[in-house]
Structure 1
Amino acid sequence: MTQNLLVELLVEELPPKSLKQLGSSFAGLLADSLKAQGLIAPDAAITPYATPRRLAVHIANVAAQAADQAVTQKLMPVKVGLDAQGQATPPLLKKLASLGADASAVPQLKRALDGKTETLFLDIVVQGTLLTDGLQKALQDAISQLPIPKVMTYQLADGWQSVHFVRPVHSLVALHGADIVPVSVLGLQAGRETQGHRFEAKVNPIVLHNADSYAQQLQTEGAVLAGFAERRAEIARQLAAAAAKEHLTPIDDEALLDEVTALVEHPNVLVGTFDAEFLQVPQECLILTMKANQKYFPLLDAQGKLANKFLLVSNVRPADPAQVIAGNERVVRSRLADAKFFFDQDRKKTLASRLPELDKVVYHNKLGTQGLRMHYVREIAYMIGKQLNAATSAREAAALAKADLLTDMVGEFPELQGIMGRYYAQHEGLGDEIAFAIEDQYKPRFAGDDLPRNDAGVSVALADKLVTLIDMFYMGEVPTGDKDPFALRRHALGVIRILIEKNLSLKLDELIRSAINILKEDQFAQQWLSNCSDKTQESIISVTCRRNAYVLPDSVPGTQEEIFTKLFNFVYERLAGNLRDQGYTPQEVDAVLSLNPQQLSDIPKRLAAVRAFAALPEAVSLAAANKRVGNILKKSESAISDSVDTGLLQEADEQALYQALQAIQPQTEKAFAAGDYTASLQLLATLKTPVDTFFDHVMVNVDDVKLRNNRLALLAQLHRIMNRIADLSKLAS
């Protein structure tokens, strides 16, 4: 007989950022343990519940006792269990007794090889686990394995025993149908009583009728929406409805919606307002302070501009919400006043006037200060900017890029770095090109983020990322496993995205080498030191000197080239992974990247050409032939000529292959020069027949050295034409 099961832990307020995961983990771990014990079917319906004050799960069709199982029990080697006459030895009788059998079971024992040893086995029936025992184990397993960010230790009611959990637990419910399952955990005995909303519940405690009435009773009697997903959907519905009445749109923030869902049990969305004068402050500041500090949902108009209204999600539903709204408006007013004060104060100083202070901010204890670091970023940005016709603006933007780190606003809200630099630059009249470049230095900050808007911003963003990558590789701070404290993978992907999506003609190897060369020049460090005031702390000068000594360890030859190789390979590994994530096959990616194309903006076109080529009926044969050609050329012990001697082409099939190559070579060259890689590869289809007949009838490695070398030269020419865009042999199975 099966019935539905309900288990609930009633706790003190759980950490909101962890609630969603705690709820799903508690339900999943409990169900997995019950499945392993045979108490529920593998496809049993599992419904998790999670509110700020409870973790619960409803599981359908749970057996009161698991089915008995036939098990073949390994006993011991035959020579240990049976004597020379085939009678049971004392060790065997003892083992049988532990399994509830006696000497009468000896004739039913089976013999089988266990490795090389003949062993005795006994078929027995193991009684199925009782739900009480199985749930007790499942609860203990689930509690011990929950992904708890920080465990609390608290005393039980007796004042003597202490237990460990994410928050103190006040009650345990375990119902199988309408029956209480007598389990205990964390010093609590299971019952059927739980608590509803602290202020809104009609009944407290709530006496649960059965496992299936849990969600309904909590909602009707306890004023609690127990399901996380249901509560989240209700909040989203109320947010949309309230915003629509104001002809506005709530800001889209999934993380904030999750966090608010984890803060309330009985959501009630209300509309608040603040003084319109605060809209003079950059809206990013206002939005951030409302979201981060108050968990409000700012409202935007049709143009995406912030309105002086916001939505708050209350946990109570008073008849007159005016006092709730007024209280929240008072709080937000003081928060926005702080933001306005910071903004007004920051604008009293120019960005340039703040730069000397960067010389006192240590970037890394072995790499010097932010002031020195930005000298290098500025010079690398200038180098890149010259190639993009934005040298002057790139250099100016890079010089001011980190100045906003010293402002009050960024000190209060580090997430606004770059953004505030843009506003302050515009306030100073520096122009949008410089201002946007300052803001865009951090882009792209995450997958799918926007790229820098102009070439000055591209130059600064690339320079900033390259300096971080090179510095950390010199320091040996290479990411390992899932650890990447300096976000080097993100920086590498940022470089990749900018080069590809901005369709830049910059070459990756030249870019990295040029940046390394600038970083290793002592003149910039000397310029920085000479510009420092006499009051500069000796310790700062010391770390700066160590930085330059570390970047240029004269006693370690080849360091610069080693760092280049490691960093280049690191970026290429990120590139390969990123392309596979976009849907390209490993064979397609390998075919293109094995040629190490340095202009990354070309790679999407190469991949598209390879995919189109692979769809041709001739592709399989040509890829296999290309692989064969590559193997033949690798095995050649002599130098292979760049040209073919037509006078040595004796066989009709090698003449036909040569003529076919001569016919398509100008066309492939023209298509390649025009960047039409697809057309260039499509032309190779005409080579299938001459290539196949060549290998069917022509012997390459003949005894005649001149003839052999000439045929190798012909194959080398074929290899060059076929592999200019990608190594097509990688497509061969």
Structure 2
Amino acid sequence: MTTKNLLVELFVEELPPKALKKLGEAFASQLADQLRAQGLANDDSVVTSFASPRRLAAHVSHVWLKAADKAVQQKLMPVSVGLTADGQASPALLKKLQALGADVSDPVATMAALKRAPDGKAEALFYDSLVTGATLDTGLQKALDEAIRLLPIPKVMSYQLETDCELPGWTSVNFVRPAHSLLALYGNTVVPVKVLGLTAGNTTQGHRFEAKVSPVVIADADQYAATLLKDGTVIASFAERRAEIVRQLAAAAAVVGQGARPIDDEALLDEVTGLVEHPNVLTCSFEAEFLNVPQECLILTMKANQKYFPLVDAAGKLTNKFLVVSNISPEDTSFVIGGNERVVRPRLADAKFFFDQDRKKTLESRVAGLDKVVYHNKLGTQGERVERVRAIAKAIGQQLGGDGLAQSADTAAKLAKSDLLTDMVGEFPELQGIMGGYYARHDGLSEEVADAIEDHYKPRFAGDELPRNTTGLVVALADKLETLVGMFGIGNLPTGDKDPFALRRHALGVIRMLAEKDLELNVGDLVAAAQPAFCDKITDAGAALIDFMFDRLAGSLREQGYSAQEVDAVLALRPQRLGDVAKRLEAVRSFAALPEAAALAAANKRIGNILKKAGEVDAHVSEVLLKEPAEIALYAAMQDVAPRAKTQFEAGDYTASLQTLAALRAPVDAFFDGVMVNAEEMDLRLNRQGLLKTLHEAMNRVADLSRLAA
């Protein structure tokens, strides 16, 4: 039996642009998965997703017209239930077989179709049958229904369809947007499926304004994209349309010259790709006087409100040129360019007005207003929160740099949230912190404090840069710790994919700052030091918060390429100086490559189990009680190796420390081969346990080596 390629398209009203990419990929993958599950497609079938503002489509190669019949063996019931004393089918068995569609009119044939086989401690009856493979008509209908049901629709729309003449009235349909046509082709043959009140055909619609014909007839499943481009002026593939926009943006920027380039924004690029069917990039401009406004404000208003691509020069400074991705390609583009320039001008004027008005008041004068802004009903106002951040920042600053750093951190923390009350941040919340830095400089504050105010939200996302100076680091740490300790203290924890206060991001931010800046701060001490700032507003959830932070750290390290074993071994010790973690991991990786590693890890695990069963063990060894040659040899080796390893550990050379310990493999192996730890004589037993305790402590300073055991 030969296969053909299948094409399915849903033509709808304009889909939400931010969700289009995800919707298109999900529609195609779910449709293909459902066909595979029914045996109508296999692993060799290639799935191609298409998604434009007005369509979701999927092309699946190598699809069968009918799935192969499949032999199925089904467990029925225990023999004791299914057969009577004389070996005949019981009423319960006959009823079960009838439910499966078996013909039970012939007792001999019925019994012949059954098999007896062991099932645990008893025997069970099994029924062999041949399940007829699904046809494409029924299989595609099921696959299409399921693909639509499983679409990750951000918000469902309800609309009505008029029923046929025989049954006048309306029926309600729920989908992401009203659907207008369904296309389903198997090769060049229409597959008669129905969905959302639509019956499949071989036609669709092209570009809303520039299609050459209407409707667009698709002659064959493999001609879909080419025909839609030729007759409908639509680039159906999301990826190809996106690549075309990137190409045109680069070409337009090159014409502007002077190293101009469009701002790099993947999310904006995806959104614009979801807004146009056949992109046409045009260059526009605005008055240069607006460049006196902070460029972040201008860039954000052009991106967020108009979906434009601002152009920056080679130094990253904003120019007065911007690029528009139009959905039409008129011969005279002046009207499109002029219209976009007229539209952006009031937006830029608003930004300039906000900036000018905001600078009439100092950040200091806005601080009192934060007492009227609710932060959380259990944690008080933003003003109260600022006081907590100040207290935490002063404590951290004092520890890291004394009075000077504590004072500058206090000043920055006091003013860091004041820009929340400015007009600019009210219009563009994304600019909080950034505008605070601009206004701090205007108020005459030092560059260090201004940078700290601007940077105190950093890192804002994965891969974001850290604060530029130590004051910024201190305030950023204090701000994130206040959020973490406060939310954990009132039991407001992340659940599943819900994390409204971004606690996971805050935890990773704290981890990154402590680790990448190698700050001389301990995780546990930081959490404990933040608690008093809340007085009686929270309960102590420090242990849970520390667990949460180490979980985030473990996940981050695995994403960086460290193995689960390596991460587990290091973090089992809960190292408080996170700047040490990377060195510990590299040391563990080097140790694991040694030929002695596996045996020592296994021995370490064995020692841990012995000590766990023994309970409280004193790490003390009496040489007088060392009787066996193997324990004497192990003790002697430890006297040589352990001090050197400890010195290397204290010097921060973790790799050398672990490699020094590798010399203990032979005496450790000999000890377990020749010495009974749990001797009958209590003094010998305690002494040997003390020897193992001493060994265990020496071996597990860098990491818990037992976690490396297979």
User: TM over 0.5, yes or no?
Assistant: yes
Shift of 1:149: 1.6
Q: Secondary structure in 1 aligned to 2:8?
A: strand
Aligned equivalent of 2:147: 142
Q: Secondary structure in 1 aligned to 2:62?
A: strand
Cα deviation, 1:669-720, whole Å, max 9, x if unaligned, reads 3322221111122111222223333333344444444444444433333222
**Alpha-carbon separation, structure 2, partners of 1:444 and 1:136:** 48
**Alpha-carbon separation, structure 2, partners of 1:72 and 1:678:** 58
Contact 1:347 1:424 in 2 (8 A): yes
Shift of 1:421: 0.4
Q: Is the alpha carbon distance of 1:474 and 1:668 closer, same or farther for their aligned partners in structure 2, counting shifts above 3 Å?
A: same
- Unaligned runs of at least 5 residues, structure 1: 521-547, 552-558
Paired residue for 1:402, among 407, 411, 417?
Answer: 417
* 1:192 paired to 2:207: no
Q: Is the alpha carbon distance of 1:609 and 1:42 closer, same or farther for their aligned partners in structure 2, counting shifts above 3 Å?
A: closer
- Percent identity between matched residues is 62
More displaced stretch, 66-75 vs 329-338: 66-75
Aligned equivalent of 1:673: 650
Aligned equivalent of 1:528: none
Q: Secondary structure in 2 aligned to 1:197?
A: coil
Aligned equivalent of 1:206: 216
**Alpha-carbon separation, structure 2, partners of 1:635 and 1:76:** 47
Shift of 1:80: 6.4
* 1:177 paired to 2:187: yes
Contact 2:10 2:56 in 1 (8 A): yes
Q: Is the alpha carbon distance of 1:193 and 1:513 closer, same or farther for their aligned partners in structure 2, counting shifts above 3 Å?
A: same
Paired residue for 1:458, among 457, 463, 473?
Answer: 473
Cα deviation, 1:235-282, whole Å, max 9, x if unaligned, reads 111111111222311111111111111100010011111111111111
Paired residue for 1:718, among 678, 685, 695?
Answer: 695
**1:527-546 superposed matches below 5 A:** none
* 1:110 paired to 2:114: yes
AA aligned opposite 1:263: L
Q: Is the alpha carbon distance of 1:411 and 1:713 closer, same or farther for their aligned partners in structure 2, counting shifts above 3 Å?
A: same
Q: Secondary structure in 1 aligned to 2:170?
A: coil
**Alpha-carbon separation, structure 1, partners of 2:186 and 2:626:** 88
**Alpha-carbon separation, structure 2, partners of 1:508 and 1:87:** 70
**Alpha-carbon separation, structure 1, partners of 2:371 and 2:646:** 54
More displaced stretch, 590-599 vs 383-392: 590-599
Q: Is the alpha carbon distance of 1:83 and 1:134 closer, same or farther for their aligned partners in structure 2, counting shifts above 3 Å?
A: farther
Q: Is the alpha carbon distance of 1:259 and 1:87 closer, same or farther for their aligned partners in structure 2, counting shifts above 3 Å?
A: closer
Q: Is the alpha carbon distance of 1:120 and 1:453 closer, same or farther for their aligned partners in structure 2, counting shifts above 3 Å?
A: closer
More displaced stretch, 296-305 vs 720-729: 720-729
Cα deviation, 1:205-250, whole Å, max 9, x if unaligned, reads 1122222221111111111111111111111111111112223111
More displaced stretch, 389-398 vs 238-247: 238-247
Aligned equivalent of 1:527: none
Contact 1:76 1:92 in 2 (8 A): no
Cα deviation, 1:27-73, whole Å, max 9, x if unaligned, reads 22222222222222332122221111111122223233333334456
**Alpha-carbon separation, structure 1, partners of 2:88 and 2:626:** 84
Contact 1:14 1:52 in 2 (8 A): yes
Aligned equivalent of 1:310: 322
**Alpha-carbon separation, structure 1, partners of 2:76 and 2:574:** 61
Cα deviation, 1:57-109, whole Å, max 9, x if unaligned, reads 22223233333334456778887688969599899599399557853844743
**Alpha-carbon separation, structure 1, partners of 2:27 and 2:619:** 70
**Alpha-carbon separation, structure 2, partners of 1:273 and 1:348:** 29
Shift of 1:15: 0.8
Paired residue for 2:572, among 594, 598, 606?
Answer: 594
Aligned equivalent of 2:335: 323
More displaced stretch, 399-408 vs 6-15: 6-15
**Alpha-carbon separation, structure 1, partners of 2:572 and 2:83:** 63
Aligned equivalent of 1:691: 668
Contact 2:82 2:92 in 1 (8 A): no
Contact 1:112 1:121 in 2 (8 A): no
Shift of 1:394: 0.3
More displaced stretch, 431-440 vs 85-94: 85-94
Aligned equivalent of 2:255: 245
- Unaligned runs of at least 5 residues, structure 2: 164-168
Aligned equivalent of 1:31: 32
Q: Is the alpha carbon distance of 1:96 and 1:122 closer, same or farther for their aligned partners in structure 2, counting shifts above 3 Å?
A: farther
* 1:654 paired to 2:655: no
Cα deviation, 1:493-544, whole Å, max 9, x if unaligned, reads 1111111111001111111111112332xxxxxxxxxxxxxxxxxxxxxxxx
Q: Is the alpha carbon distance of 1:64 and 1:426 closer, same or farther for their aligned partners in structure 2, counting shifts above 3 Å?
A: same
Shift of 1:16: 0.7
AA aligned opposite 1:52: P
**1:529-678 superposed matches below 5 A:** 548=536, 550-551=537-538, 559-560=539-540, 563-636=541-614, 640=618, 642=620, 644-678=621-655
Shift of 1:587: 2.3
* 1:121 paired to 2:91: no
**1:7-86 superposed matches below 5 A:** 7-72=8-73
Q: Secondary structure in 1 aligned to 2:59?
A: strand
**Alpha-carbon separation, structure 2, partners of 1:99 and 1:638:** 68
Shift of 1:582: 2.0
Q: Is the alpha carbon distance of 1:108 and 1:708 closer, same or farther for their aligned partners in structure 2, counting shifts above 3 Å?
A: closer
Aligned equivalent of 2:344: 332
More displaced stretch, 689-698 vs 511-520: 689-698
Q: Is the alpha carbon distance of 1:732 and 1:181 closer, same or farther for their aligned partners in structure 2, counting shifts above 3 Å?
A: closer
Aligned equivalent of 2:266: 254
CA RMSD of aligned residues (A): 2.6
* 1:341 paired to 2:333: no
Q: Secondary structure in 2 aligned to 1:40?
A: coil
AA aligned opposite 1:594: A
Contact 2:280 2:327 in 1 (8 A): yes
Paired residue for 1:447, among 462, 466, 473?
Answer: 462
**Alpha-carbon separation, structure 2, partners of 1:720 and 1:120:** 59
Cα deviation, 1:422-467, whole Å, max 9, x if unaligned, reads 1111112212110111111111111111111111111111111111
Cα deviation, 1:319-368, whole Å, max 9, x if unaligned, reads 11111011101111111111111111111110000011001001111211
Q: Secondary structure in 2 aligned to 1:10?
A: strand
Aligned equivalent of 1:530: none
Contact 2:38 2:134 in 1 (8 A): yes
Q: Secondary structure in 2 aligned to 1:692?
A: helix
Aligned equivalent of 2:300: 288
Contact 1:83 1:89 in 2 (8 A): no
Q: Secondary structure in 2 aligned to 1:359?
A: helix
AA aligned opposite 2:431: L
Shift of 1:476: 0.9
Return the TM-score normalized by structure 1. Answer: 0.89
Q: Is the alpha carbon distance of 1:316 and 1:673 closer, same or farther for their aligned partners in structure 2, counting shifts above 3 Å?
A: same
Contact 2:89 2:111 in 1 (8 A): no
**Alpha-carbon separation, structure 1, partners of 2:616 and 2:224:** 83
Shift of 1:117: 6.3
**Alpha-carbon separation, structure 2, partners of 1:74 and 1:487:** 49
**1:498-537 superposed matches below 5 A:** 498-520=513-535
More displaced stretch, 456-465 vs 132-141: 132-141
Shift of 1:406: 0.3
Q: Secondary structure in 2 aligned to 1:621?
A: helix
More displaced stretch, 218-227 vs 84-93: 84-93
**Alpha-carbon separation, structure 2, partners of 1:700 and 1:85:** 62
Q: Is the alpha carbon distance of 1:100 and 1:48 closer, same or farther for their aligned partners in structure 2, counting shifts above 3 Å?
A: farther
Contact 1:508 1:598 in 2 (8 A): yes
